[in-house]
């Protein structure tokens, strides 16, 4: 099918980034959120990010103006009903995602494809709660969306080939690369990345190294662009913990046990950059390690 209109559920970090790249690629986008303020902030952020791209010569001022006009916003979820494709980018909680799809179902067109930007939750299980499991799949963008080149496409057990091909065509039009993943806990990227981050937290927890030495070791010793604890703060420690719990519960292997220190930071509300404190304290001019 030819996808022209795309609905996005959620105007947060992922949702606004997805809207940004879709609009630049020529899609008509409608972005919804329960918060009107979140939608306003998202549009300001998108405009600011596009301005930076224009300043660097990556897009023209005309491209930017046209793309911004393609993005419509609404606080009413069911306004997404006429969309050809819907990408859910709400919080990483299965009950929230299920409720969103349940509210959408009566308002969808027969051909509408439903997708989730989930980083770890079972696509098959989410799809089974809808009336169109064959037209449901995982559409997992990486953060920050305008910069990162990969999109994981995850088939549920019932996803048909037409749905996969339509979503793959969207990724191609964005100029990004699709990686096809099977529907197992955390898929590909987070199946590999999150245990590494969790092991870095264990290394800190056991006193093998402090925050600075662990991050410096991986940046200079393994040529990683960011240290694992710095990266955890960027992702959000609550998200890291949620994915580790999905891995631990779904695969029943003790190697995926979340580090108690990671749990402790989340309990304290020290979630990383978004809360100004995590493995680093971001409240001053420069980030300062908290351990």
Mean pLDDT of the 26-51 span: 97
Check whether 16 is labelled as a binding-site residue: no
Classified as helix, coil or strand, 188 is: coil
Break the chain into its structural domains and give their ranges.
5-182, 190-289
Check whether 58 is labelled as a binding-site residue: no
Query: What is the tens place of the pLDDT at every residue in 178-209?
Result: 999 999 999 999 999 999 999 999 999 999 99
What are the catalytic residues?
A: 119, 140, 152, 190
Kindly tell me if the per-residue pLDDT of 28 is higher than 90: yes
The pLDDT of residue 1:
75
Kindly tell me if the per-residue pLDDT of 218 is higher than 80: yes
Topology of the domain comprising 190-289: 1.10.1040
What are the start-end ranges of the E strands in the chain?
5-9, 28-32, 71-74, 85-88, 113-116, 136-141, 150-155, 177-181, 280-281, 288-289
Q: Which residues pair with 85 in a beta bridge?
A: 6, 113
Identify the helix (H) or strand (E) that includes residue 95: helix 94-104
The pLDDT of residue 103:
97
Q: Compute the distance between CA of residue 86 and CA of residue 219 in angstroms, rounded to an integer.
A: 37
Check whether 219 is labelled as a binding-site residue: no
- What tokens does 233 get? 């703060």
Confidence of residue 149 (pLDDT cuts 50, 70, 90): very high
Per cent of the chain over pLDDT 90 is 97
Query: What is the tens place of the pLDDT at every residue in 63-119?
Result: 999 999 999 999 999 999 999 999 999 988 899 999 999 999 999 999 999 999 998
Is 5-182 a CATH 3.40.50.720 domain?
A: yes
Mean pLDDT of the 173-179 span: 98
Check whether 274 is labelled as a binding-site residue: yes
Look up tokens 């929230």; give the residue: 96
Mean predicted lDDT score pLDDT of the chain? 96
């Amino acid at each position: 099918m030819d996808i022209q209109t795309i609905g996005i559920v959620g105007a947060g970090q992922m949702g606004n980034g997805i809207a940004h790249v879709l609009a630049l690629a020529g899609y008509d986008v409608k972005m919804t959120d329960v918060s009107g303020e979140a939608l306003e902030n998202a549009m300001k952020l998108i405009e600011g990010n596009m301005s930076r791209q224009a300043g660097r010569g990556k897009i023209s001022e005309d491209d930017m103006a046209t793309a911004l006009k393609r993005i419509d916003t609404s606080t009413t979820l069911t306004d997404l009903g006429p969309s050809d494709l819907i990408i859910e980018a709400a919080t990483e909680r299965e009950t929230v995602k299920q409720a969103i799809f349940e509210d959408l179902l009566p308002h969808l067109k027969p051909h509408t494809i439903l997708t989730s930007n989930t980083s770890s939750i079972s696509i098959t299980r989410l799809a089974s709660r809808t009336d169109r499991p064959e037209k449901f799949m995982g559409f997992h963008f990486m953060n920050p969306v305008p910069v990162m080149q990969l999109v994981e496409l995850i088939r549920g057990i019932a996803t048909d080939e037409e749905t996969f091909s339509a979503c793959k065509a969207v990724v191609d039009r964005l100029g990004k690369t699709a990686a096809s993943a099977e529907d197992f806990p955390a898929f590909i990227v987070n199946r590999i990345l999150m245990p590494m981050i969790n092991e870095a937290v264990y290394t800190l927890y056991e006193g093998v190294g402090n925050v600075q030495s662990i991050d410096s070791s991986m940046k200079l010793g393994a040529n990683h662009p960011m240290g694992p604890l710095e990266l955890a703060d960027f992702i959000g420690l609550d998200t890291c913990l949620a994915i580790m719990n999905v891995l631990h519960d779904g695969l029943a292997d003790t190697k995926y046990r979340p580090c108690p220190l990671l749990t402790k930071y989340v309990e304290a509300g020290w979630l990383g950059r978004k809360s100004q404190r995590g493995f680093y304290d971001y409240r001053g001019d420069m980030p300062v390690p908290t351990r």
